[in-house]
Amino acid sequence: MKEERYLEHLIAAKQFHFKHLDIAGIDNEPAVKIFSRSVLEQEICLFANNVASGDDYCLLLHEKIMHAMRQRKPLPVVRFADGEYAFYRCTLDCNGLYRQAESVHAIRDAMPQHLSALRYVAANGFLAPLVFPNNSHAAAEEIFSFLKKKPDSSGAGFLDFLRAGGIALTPANYVPFYTVYAYLTSPHFLGAMDGKNICILNSESNEESCRDWFAQSGSRPVLTFVDIPAEYVATRWEKSKLDILNKIPQATDLCLTGAGVGALLICADVAEKFSIPSIDAGHVLNMMNGRVDKSNGARLYTIRKK
Protein backbone atom coordinates (compact mmCIF):
# COMPACT_ATOMS: atom_id res chain seq x y z
CA MET A 1 0.00 0.00 0.00
CA LYS A 2 1.30 3.44 -0.93
CA GLU A 3 2.44 5.47 2.10
CA GLU A 4 0.34 8.52 2.92
CA ARG A 5 2.19 11.75 2.21
CA TYR A 6 2.85 13.99 5.18
CA LEU A 7 0.68 16.78 3.78
CA GLU A 8 -2.23 14.38 3.38
CA HIS A 9 -1.69 13.21 6.96
CA LEU A 10 -1.69 16.78 8.33
CA ILE A 11 -4.91 17.58 6.50
CA ALA A 12 -6.60 14.30 7.49
CA ALA A 13 -5.61 14.94 11.11
CA LYS A 14 -7.47 18.27 10.87
CA GLN A 15 -4.36 20.28 11.72
CA PHE A 16 -4.17 22.07 8.37
CA HIS A 17 -6.23 22.93 5.30
CA PHE A 18 -5.89 25.08 2.17
CA LYS A 19 -7.36 28.57 2.25
CA HIS A 20 -7.01 31.94 0.54
CA LEU A 21 -4.38 34.15 2.19
CA ASP A 22 -6.36 37.37 2.52
CA ILE A 23 -4.36 40.24 4.03
CA ALA A 24 -5.86 43.73 4.26
CA GLY A 25 -4.26 46.44 2.17
CA ILE A 26 -2.22 44.14 -0.08
CA ASP A 27 -2.04 44.75 -3.83
CA ASN A 28 -0.80 41.73 -5.79
CA GLU A 29 -1.44 43.20 -9.24
CA PRO A 30 2.20 44.40 -9.68
CA ALA A 31 3.35 40.78 -9.36
CA VAL A 32 0.67 39.65 -11.82
CA LYS A 33 2.02 42.08 -14.43
CA ILE A 34 5.45 40.44 -14.13
CA PHE A 35 4.61 36.76 -13.65
CA SER A 36 1.09 36.49 -15.24
CA ARG A 37 -2.18 35.77 -13.47
CA SER A 38 -1.10 32.21 -12.79
CA VAL A 39 1.00 33.54 -9.89
CA LEU A 40 -2.26 34.14 -8.00
CA GLU A 41 -2.52 30.36 -7.54
CA GLN A 42 -0.09 30.91 -4.68
CA GLU A 43 -2.65 32.99 -2.78
CA ILE A 44 -4.26 29.68 -1.80
CA CYS A 45 -1.92 28.27 0.81
CA LEU A 46 -1.67 25.95 3.77
CA PHE A 47 -3.47 27.22 6.89
CA ALA A 48 -3.44 25.85 10.39
CA ASN A 49 -6.98 25.00 11.49
CA ASN A 50 -6.68 27.29 14.50
CA VAL A 51 -5.86 30.43 12.48
CA ALA A 52 -8.75 32.22 10.84
CA SER A 53 -7.15 34.60 8.35
CA GLY A 54 -4.00 36.01 6.79
CA ASP A 55 -4.35 39.08 8.99
CA ASP A 56 -4.40 36.80 12.04
CA TYR A 57 -1.15 35.20 10.86
CA CYS A 58 0.47 38.64 10.54
CA LEU A 59 -0.76 39.54 14.03
CA LEU A 60 0.59 36.24 15.37
CA LEU A 61 4.02 36.97 13.85
CA HIS A 62 3.97 40.48 15.27
CA GLU A 63 3.11 39.35 18.79
CA LYS A 64 5.70 36.55 18.78
CA ILE A 65 8.45 38.83 17.46
CA MET A 66 7.67 41.60 19.94
CA HIS A 67 7.64 39.11 22.81
CA ALA A 68 10.95 37.60 21.73
CA MET A 69 12.53 41.06 21.51
CA ARG A 70 11.28 42.05 24.97
CA GLN A 71 12.25 38.78 26.63
CA ARG A 72 15.50 38.25 24.66
CA LYS A 73 14.37 34.88 23.34
CA PRO A 74 15.50 33.18 20.12
CA LEU A 75 12.94 33.30 17.31
CA PRO A 76 14.21 32.25 13.88
CA VAL A 77 11.73 32.75 11.02
CA VAL A 78 12.75 31.03 7.78
CA ARG A 79 11.01 30.76 4.39
CA PHE A 80 11.28 27.82 1.97
CA ALA A 81 10.34 27.70 -1.71
CA ASP A 82 11.63 26.38 -5.04
CA GLY A 83 15.34 26.93 -4.35
CA GLU A 84 15.22 25.21 -0.99
CA TYR A 85 13.06 22.39 -2.33
CA ALA A 86 15.62 21.69 -5.06
CA PHE A 87 18.50 21.88 -2.58
CA TYR A 88 16.88 19.34 -0.26
CA ARG A 89 16.31 17.03 -3.22
CA CYS A 90 20.10 17.27 -3.71
CA THR A 91 19.85 18.80 -7.18
CA LEU A 92 21.63 21.79 -8.68
CA ASP A 93 18.26 23.19 -9.76
CA CYS A 94 18.69 25.25 -6.58
CA ASN A 95 21.02 27.55 -8.52
CA GLY A 96 18.45 29.99 -9.90
CA LEU A 97 18.82 33.72 -9.26
CA TYR A 98 21.81 33.04 -7.00
CA ARG A 99 24.53 30.40 -6.70
CA GLN A 100 23.50 28.20 -3.81
CA ALA A 101 25.65 25.07 -4.22
CA GLU A 102 28.82 24.16 -6.10
CA SER A 103 27.95 20.48 -6.53
CA VAL A 104 25.62 17.71 -5.41
CA HIS A 105 28.46 16.45 -3.25
CA ALA A 106 28.62 19.83 -1.47
CA ILE A 107 24.88 19.70 -0.81
CA ARG A 108 25.13 16.24 0.71
CA ASP A 109 28.05 17.31 2.90
CA ALA A 110 26.04 20.28 4.19
CA MET A 111 22.83 18.33 4.78
CA PRO A 112 23.51 17.44 8.45
CA GLN A 113 23.94 21.15 9.24
CA HIS A 114 20.67 21.96 7.49
CA LEU A 115 18.75 19.23 9.29
CA SER A 116 20.12 20.42 12.62
CA ALA A 117 19.10 24.00 11.82
CA LEU A 118 15.65 22.87 10.67
CA ARG A 119 15.12 21.09 13.98
CA TYR A 120 16.21 24.21 15.86
CA VAL A 121 13.84 26.47 13.90
CA ALA A 122 10.95 24.02 14.31
CA ALA A 123 11.52 23.96 18.09
CA ASN A 124 12.14 27.69 18.59
CA GLY A 125 10.63 29.66 15.75
CA PHE A 126 8.65 29.43 12.52
CA LEU A 127 9.03 27.40 9.35
CA ALA A 128 7.42 29.22 6.41
CA PRO A 129 7.32 26.88 3.40
CA LEU A 130 5.48 27.84 0.21
CA VAL A 131 2.81 25.14 0.02
CA PHE A 132 -0.16 25.64 -2.29
CA PRO A 133 -2.35 23.21 -4.24
CA ASN A 134 -0.39 23.41 -7.48
CA ASN A 135 2.94 22.49 -5.89
CA SER A 136 1.43 19.74 -3.78
CA HIS A 137 0.30 17.20 -6.37
CA ALA A 138 1.08 13.55 -5.81
CA ALA A 139 4.28 12.46 -7.50
CA ALA A 140 3.76 11.88 -11.21
CA GLU A 141 3.04 8.25 -12.03
CA GLU A 142 4.82 6.49 -14.86
CA ILE A 143 1.71 6.83 -16.97
CA PHE A 144 2.44 10.55 -17.20
CA SER A 145 6.12 10.15 -18.04
CA PHE A 146 5.54 11.23 -21.65
CA LEU A 147 4.34 14.66 -20.56
CA LYS A 148 6.78 17.57 -20.86
CA LYS A 149 5.58 19.07 -17.60
CA LYS A 150 4.89 16.69 -14.76
CA PRO A 151 2.65 17.64 -11.84
CA ASP A 152 4.56 19.75 -9.31
CA SER A 153 4.87 18.00 -5.95
CA SER A 154 7.74 20.12 -4.57
CA GLY A 155 5.77 21.65 -1.70
CA ALA A 156 4.39 18.32 -0.50
CA GLY A 157 7.81 16.76 -1.12
CA PHE A 158 9.46 19.26 1.21
CA LEU A 159 7.04 18.31 3.97
CA ASP A 160 7.93 14.65 3.38
CA PHE A 161 11.59 15.64 3.69
CA LEU A 162 10.84 17.25 7.07
CA ARG A 163 9.06 14.13 8.31
CA ALA A 164 11.92 11.91 7.14
CA GLY A 165 14.28 14.10 9.18
CA GLY A 166 12.15 13.74 12.30
CA ILE A 167 10.81 17.30 12.04
CA ALA A 168 7.13 17.87 12.68
CA LEU A 169 5.22 20.72 11.07
CA THR A 170 2.64 21.96 13.57
CA PRO A 171 0.22 24.86 13.93
CA ALA A 172 2.64 26.25 16.54
CA ASN A 173 5.73 26.36 14.32
CA TYR A 174 4.25 27.19 10.90
CA VAL A 175 3.34 30.41 9.13
CA PRO A 176 2.57 30.74 5.40
CA PHE A 177 5.51 31.83 3.24
CA TYR A 178 3.96 35.12 2.14
CA THR A 179 2.93 36.26 5.60
CA VAL A 180 6.62 36.96 6.27
CA TYR A 181 6.74 39.36 3.32
CA ALA A 182 3.40 40.91 4.22
CA TYR A 183 4.47 41.43 7.82
CA LEU A 184 7.89 42.92 7.03
CA THR A 185 6.26 45.51 4.76
CA SER A 186 3.43 46.29 7.18
CA PRO A 187 2.85 49.39 9.32
CA HIS A 188 2.91 47.08 12.36
CA PHE A 189 6.51 45.99 11.72
CA LEU A 190 7.79 49.35 10.51
CA GLY A 191 6.30 51.23 13.45
CA ALA A 192 7.57 48.72 15.99
CA MET A 193 11.12 48.98 14.65
CA ASP A 194 11.39 52.71 15.32
CA GLY A 195 14.43 53.20 17.58
CA LYS A 196 15.29 49.49 17.65
CA ASN A 197 18.72 48.06 16.84
CA ILE A 198 18.47 46.08 13.60
CA CYS A 199 21.36 44.24 12.01
CA ILE A 200 21.12 43.48 8.29
CA LEU A 201 23.11 40.53 6.97
CA ASN A 202 23.37 40.62 3.20
CA SER A 203 25.95 40.43 0.43
CA GLU A 204 24.96 43.83 -0.93
CA SER A 205 23.65 46.63 1.27
CA ASN A 206 22.86 50.19 0.28
CA GLU A 207 22.86 51.74 3.73
CA GLU A 208 21.27 55.04 2.69
CA SER A 209 18.53 53.27 0.74
CA CYS A 210 17.75 50.98 3.70
CA ARG A 211 17.44 53.93 6.09
CA ASP A 212 15.25 55.80 3.61
CA TRP A 213 13.01 52.74 3.19
CA PHE A 214 12.20 52.78 6.92
CA ALA A 215 12.07 56.58 7.12
CA GLN A 216 9.38 56.75 4.41
CA SER A 217 7.08 55.12 6.97
CA GLY A 218 8.24 57.36 9.82
CA SER A 219 10.43 54.61 11.32
CA ARG A 220 14.04 55.24 12.29
CA PRO A 221 15.70 52.11 13.61
CA VAL A 222 19.43 52.05 14.32
CA LEU A 223 20.75 49.98 11.43
CA THR A 224 24.04 48.10 11.30
CA PHE A 225 25.24 46.07 8.34
CA VAL A 226 27.29 42.89 8.15
CA ASP A 227 28.48 41.62 4.78
CA ILE A 228 28.06 37.94 3.97
CA PRO A 229 29.30 36.03 0.90
CA ALA A 230 27.28 36.49 -2.29
CA GLU A 231 27.26 32.77 -3.07
CA TYR A 232 27.38 29.28 -1.57
CA VAL A 233 26.37 30.29 1.97
CA ALA A 234 24.20 27.15 2.04
CA THR A 235 27.25 24.90 1.66
CA ARG A 236 30.06 27.01 3.15
CA TRP A 237 28.49 28.65 6.19
CA GLU A 238 30.78 26.90 8.66
CA LYS A 239 33.82 28.52 7.05
CA SER A 240 32.63 32.09 7.61
CA LYS A 241 30.23 31.59 10.54
CA LEU A 242 32.39 32.79 13.45
CA ASP A 243 33.72 35.84 11.61
CA ILE A 244 30.22 36.96 10.64
CA LEU A 245 28.60 36.29 14.02
CA ASN A 246 31.38 38.22 15.77
CA LYS A 247 30.56 41.31 13.70
CA ILE A 248 26.95 41.48 14.88
CA PRO A 249 26.60 44.05 17.70
CA GLN A 250 25.64 42.54 21.06
CA ALA A 251 22.89 45.15 21.47
CA THR A 252 21.08 43.97 18.34
CA ASP A 253 17.32 43.57 18.85
CA LEU A 254 16.52 41.84 15.57
CA CYS A 255 18.36 40.54 12.49
CA LEU A 256 17.20 40.55 8.89
CA THR A 257 18.97 38.14 6.55
CA GLY A 258 19.18 37.72 2.80
CA ALA A 259 21.16 34.61 1.92
CA GLY A 260 19.02 32.34 -0.26
CA VAL A 261 19.07 28.72 0.88
CA GLY A 262 21.78 29.64 3.39
CA ALA A 263 19.38 31.89 5.32
CA LEU A 264 18.28 28.86 7.34
CA LEU A 265 21.76 28.34 8.80
CA ILE A 266 22.32 32.03 9.50
CA CYS A 267 18.92 32.64 11.09
CA ALA A 268 19.23 29.59 13.34
CA ASP A 269 22.73 30.49 14.55
CA VAL A 270 21.99 34.20 15.02
CA ALA A 271 18.80 33.49 16.97
CA GLU A 272 20.59 30.96 19.18
CA LYS A 273 23.69 33.07 19.88
CA PHE A 274 21.97 36.42 20.51
CA SER A 275 18.55 35.22 21.76
CA ILE A 276 16.67 37.50 19.35
CA PRO A 277 14.32 37.24 16.37
CA SER A 278 16.25 36.45 13.20
CA ILE A 279 14.17 36.71 10.04
CA ASP A 280 14.83 35.45 6.54
CA ALA A 281 13.77 38.63 4.74
CA GLY A 282 14.80 37.69 1.19
CA HIS A 283 13.09 39.90 -1.39
CA VAL A 284 12.22 42.53 1.22
CA LEU A 285 15.93 43.27 1.60
CA ASN A 286 16.10 43.80 -2.15
CA MET A 287 13.28 46.31 -1.71
CA MET A 288 15.16 48.06 1.08
CA ASN A 289 18.27 48.24 -1.08
CA GLY A 290 16.37 49.59 -4.07
CA ARG A 291 17.28 46.45 -6.00
CA VAL A 292 13.94 44.81 -6.76
CA ASP A 293 15.50 43.86 -10.09
CA LYS A 294 17.57 41.22 -8.27
CA SER A 295 14.30 39.36 -7.69
CA ASN A 296 13.16 39.91 -11.28
CA GLY A 297 10.56 42.39 -10.05
CA ALA A 298 7.79 42.70 -7.47
CA ARG A 299 6.75 39.70 -5.41
CA LEU A 300 3.35 38.77 -4.01
CA TYR A 301 2.29 40.31 -0.70
CA THR A 302 4.95 43.03 -0.69
CA ILE A 303 3.04 45.98 -2.21
CA ARG A 304 0.43 47.99 -0.34
CA LYS A 305 -2.65 49.58 -1.91
CA LYS A 306 -2.36 53.34 -2.23
Q: Residue 270 above 60 pLDDT?
A: yes
What single string gives the DSSP state of each residue in 283-304?
HHHHHHTT-GGGGTS--TT--B
Specify the number of domains making up the chain: 1
**pLDDT digit string (tens) for 295-304?**
777 899 999 9
* Predicted local distance difference test score (pLDDT) of residue 149: 52
C-alpha to C-alpha distance for 166 and 259, rounded to whole angstroms: 25
Q: 301 lies in a domain?
A: no
Q: 215 in a domain, yes or no? A: yes
Res. 3 pLDDT band, cuts 50 70 90: confident
Q: Which residues pair with 61 in a beta bridge?
A: none
Q: Is residue 306 part of a domain?
A: no
Residue ranges with strand state E in 103-196 = 126-129
At residue 148, the pLDDT reads: 46
pLDDT band of residue 139 (cuts 50, 70, 90) is very low
pLDDT at position 97 is 77
Instruction: Indicate whether 121 belongs to any domain.
Output: yes
Q: What is the DSSP string of 34-77?
A: HH-GGGGGGGEEEEETT---HHHHHHHHHHHHHHHHHHT--EEE
Please report whether residue 305 resides in a domain.
no
What is the C-alpha separation between 293 and 306, in angstroms, rounded? 22
**DSSP assignment letter at 174:** B
For residue 302, being part of any structural domain is answered with: no
Report if residue 1 sits inside a domain: no
CA 178 to chain centre: 8
The type of residue at 136 is S
Is the pLDDT at 145 greater than 60, yes or no?
Answer: no
Strands (E), 152-219: 197-202
Q: How far apart are CA 8 and CA 276, in angstroms?
A: 34
39 phi, psi to nearest 5 deg: -65, -25
The answer to whether position 284 is within a domain reads yes
Cα–Cα distances in angstroms (integers) from residue 119 to residues 126, 167, 240, 243, 282, in the given order: 11, 6, 22, 24, 21
Range of the domain at 263: 6-295
